[in-house]
Structure 1
Amino acid sequence: MTISDIAKLAGVSAATVSRVLNNKGYVKEETRQKIENLIQENGYRPNAVARSLTRSNTSMIAVIMSNRLNPFFANVLDAIESRAEQQGYSILFYNTSEDRDKECKAIAQAIEHRVMGILLLPVLDPDERTEELLAGAEDSGIPVVLIDRDLHNSDLDIVLIDNKKVVYEGVKLLIESGHRKIGIVTCPEVVKKGKTRLDGYVQCLKDYGMEMEDEYIYPGDFDEKSGYQACENLLGLPDPPTAVLVTCSSATLGCIRYLNEHSLQMGRDIGLVGFDDISLLGTLGYEITVMDRPMKEMGEIAYDLLTERMASPDTKRRRREILLQTRLIIRGSEKLQDVQAVS
């Protein structure tokens, strides 16, 4: 019997079970009683090694990210590093490359290094080992804050955006610009925000009385290649969309590359709305309309949440979910001028 087994029986996260075992952090009384009963009924005994670890006195914070090549992650990391430097903390960085085994290894190593806290941007499809290890971190007095991606049944603090709203506003802009055939490049639906962003697309079309065409939905990924392939697929349809909305910054770059190679001009031949106002777009001279996340603010707030937890690890507080506002930066690439060019 493990802490994850107790968590499954109780329908909560492993971190919640850990808080009950250690009498740390906020847990609803009803949930606490349920967990305590399950522990007693199943004869569960906590791992003695994990419980023997004490909170570190070092000045190191672990940052575990799933893809350092993604422009969004790079911007968030810059903000965290800047904040940490100002306050005298060092950063121990792990890149997991969307690999569950690497993520688990990184969390375990961070605990072994006795870091003061962990900032985690999880892989797309984490398994129960991740929750088990994060519970071990809490047993060791190491607080954890999530960034952008949530975990199943998690009660960890998290900083994220309203993923449904940001895509809804992007689709709305395209509709109001005259588009009636709008393609979308989605994130993987295995991650919660992927489905939520698609929900924003579907809801906006519905609100404007427009039919959703399944062939206009391309299941993308968090890389440039998927953006290129998406445009190749969508614009190669017998009746192609007149605009494409992309829900990932890396995929946005792939879409732009495809349009350039095929001499299609954004805002004239095809409408395009991308994701994240990354500096590379401006450096390359692209004036593209984007749904922009406050990347710097996300990193700073996640860092601040973590240091607050580090300062008072025994405080019984509810989970904090910080939902940040996004914005549309309009530069003209969403326009509809020549609908014949992609036909």
Structure 2
Amino acid sequence: MKMSDIAKKSGVSIATVSRVINEDKNVKDSTREKVLKIIEEYDYTPSAIARNLSKKDNNTIGVVVPDISNPYFSEMVEGISEVIDRENLNILIYNTNDKIQKEQKSLQMLLEQRIKGLIITVTSESYEKGKIYLDKFLKSNIPVVLSDRDIKDSSMDCVFIDNIGGAYKGVSLLVENKHKDIAIITGPLKSKPGRDRLKGYKNALSEKEIEITEENIYEGDFQMESGYLLGKEILKRKKRPTAVFVSNNQMTLGFFKAMNEMKLSTPKDIAVLSFDRVELLDIFDINLTTVSASVRELGVKSAEILLERMKNRDKDISQKTILQTTLDVKGSEKKV
């Protein structure tokens, strides 16, 4: 049964039925009772979206991530949920597969549903392209928090990981272990995390006056397949680097797939250090040294800042929070 059917049976307008459903006090008691009786009789359940649109409000937070299958983003969403659930708000999650077209479609749908606020990890392309779309939220007075990835010339609230410092820590550890020939598999260099982790790599080598060569820089896309394919290139080199720094967990999994196919191990055949933890490797008893920040904290902090902004929308100064990284040293950084 539709709202129009309820209106017809009650002998009132659709607008009146809508006002009853949304508990508008400007409806006469007799009319309200008549409409509610029909609703109860026919067990009518109003659409939550329709109710939100009529009220020009929504009790929902939008969360947009590039790859929900990646444990990194799953953990981030868990951190967001931990905070949002305490406020009795709902969460609507969209997965973009790191595609700008899917991101824009997701944002349009969230705009139409008039969400209360948005937390987004933009696609790699959005560093250059996404601001126009996100500005529509700000113009609609919907707060936005950028989480994990930045947008060029943005003044939005944001929570990031210290990508430059984290990569610097990891590569410095490799240098301390006497490595001089260190390859890197970067993220997409059109993304800020991709560029920043490469910058940290270069900073660490430059500080120790180790030559930076283009042949040791391999651009990946943060996906497992690129880690696998680039891993095979690195491992098949006639003069193989003694160490590799892989810029995220998914590419690290791909790199280990390539190693497994070639019957190689770390640190015996090549030292490996990853940005982000890779829990799956623990199952296979692979002791991998990693540099990472608390991804759950990334989600928690993003949600806390969003709630604060929702309560204080007119605040002029945006918040920028940088989460520090820690090294988890397990031996894969050694030079054998």
TM-score interval, smaller chain? 0.7 to 0.9
Amino acid at match of 1:325: Q
In structure 2, relative to structure 1, the CA distance for the partners of 1:59 and 1:285 (3 Å cut) is farther
Q: Is the 8 A contact 1:227 1:252 kept in 2?
A: yes
The corresponding residue for 2:319 is 320
Cα drift, residue 96 of structure 1? 1.0
Q: Is the 8 A contact 1:72 1:278 kept in 2?
A: no
Stretch deviating more after TM superposition (197-206 or 147-156): 197-206
In structure 2, relative to structure 1, the CA distance for the partners of 1:289 and 1:129 (3 Å cut) is closer
Q: Is the 8 A contact 1:63 1:91 kept in 2?
A: yes
Say whether residues 1:208 and 2:213 are aligned partners: no
In structure 2, relative to structure 1, the CA distance for the partners of 1:167 and 1:130 (3 Å cut) is closer
Which runs of 4 or more aligned residues in structure 1 lie more than 6 Å from their structure 2 counterparts after TM superposition? none
Cα drift, residue 234 of structure 1? 1.2
2: distance between equivalents of 1:130 and 1:207? 35
CA shift digits 1:38-66 (9 cap, x unpaired):
xxxxxxxxxxxxxxx99954321000111
Amino acid at match of 2:160: L
Cα drift, residue 278 of structure 1? 3.7
The corresponding residue for 2:262 is 262
In structure 2, relative to structure 1, the CA distance for the partners of 1:104 and 1:268 (3 Å cut) is same
1:75 aligns to what SS in structure 2?
Answer: helix
The corresponding residue for 2:78 is 78
Q: Is the 8 A contact 1:56 1:115 kept in 2?
A: no
In structure 2, relative to structure 1, the CA distance for the partners of 1:128 and 1:218 (3 Å cut) is closer
Cα drift, residue 205 of structure 1? 1.1
In structure 2, relative to structure 1, the CA distance for the partners of 1:128 and 1:251 (3 Å cut) is closer
1:322 aligns to what SS in structure 2?
Answer: strand
Q: Is the 8 A contact 2:128 2:152 kept in 1?
A: no
Cα drift, residue 201 of structure 1? 1.1
Stretch deviating more after TM superposition (131-140 or 107-116): 131-140
Amino acid at match of 2:320: E
In structure 2, relative to structure 1, the CA distance for the partners of 1:54 and 1:121 (3 Å cut) is farther
CA shift digits 1:107-131 (9 cap, x unpaired):
1111111111000110111287732
2: distance between equivalents of 1:151 and 1:242? 35
Amino acid at match of 1:185: I
2: distance between equivalents of 1:267 and 1:129? 41
In structure 2, relative to structure 1, the CA distance for the partners of 1:246 and 1:86 (3 Å cut) is same
The corresponding residue for 1:330 is 329
TM-score scaled by length of structure 1: 0.79
The corresponding residue for 2:20 is none
What are the within-5 Å matches in structure 2 for residues 173-184 of structure 1? 173-184=173-184
Structure 2 residue runs of 5 or longer lacking an equivalent are 1-52
2: distance between equivalents of 1:133 and 1:234? 39
The corresponding residue for 2:17 is none
What are the within-5 Å matches in structure 2 for residues 139-288 of structure 1? 139-288=139-288
Higher Cα radius of gyration = 2
Amino acid at match of 1:200: G
Q: Is the 8 A contact 1:55 1:114 kept in 2?
A: no
1: distance between equivalents of 2:180 and 2:129? 45
CA shift digits 1:260-305 (9 cap, x unpaired):
2222121222100012124323234321101112101000000000
2: distance between equivalents of 1:226 and 1:100? 19
Cα drift, residue 87 of structure 1? 2.4
2: distance between equivalents of 1:190 and 1:103? 16
Amino acid at match of 1:323: I
Structure 1 residue runs of 5 or longer lacking an equivalent are 1-52, 338-343
2: distance between equivalents of 1:56 and 1:253? 45
2: distance between equivalents of 1:300 and 1:281? 26
2: distance between equivalents of 1:157 and 1:95? 21
Cα drift, residue 155 of structure 1? 0.4
Say whether residues 1:304 and 2:304 are aligned partners: yes
CA shift digits 1:156-190 (9 cap, x unpaired):
01100221111111111111112121111011110
Instruction: Considering Cα pairs closer than 8 Å and 6+ residues apart, tell me whether 1 or 2 has the greater RCO.
Output: 1
2: distance between equivalents of 1:159 and 1:284? 33
1:333 aligns to what SS in structure 2?
Answer: coil
1:106 aligns to what SS in structure 2?
Answer: helix
Q: Is the 8 A contact 1:223 1:250 kept in 2?
A: yes
CA shift digits 1:69-110 (9 cap, x unpaired):
222212111211222223211110111111212111111111
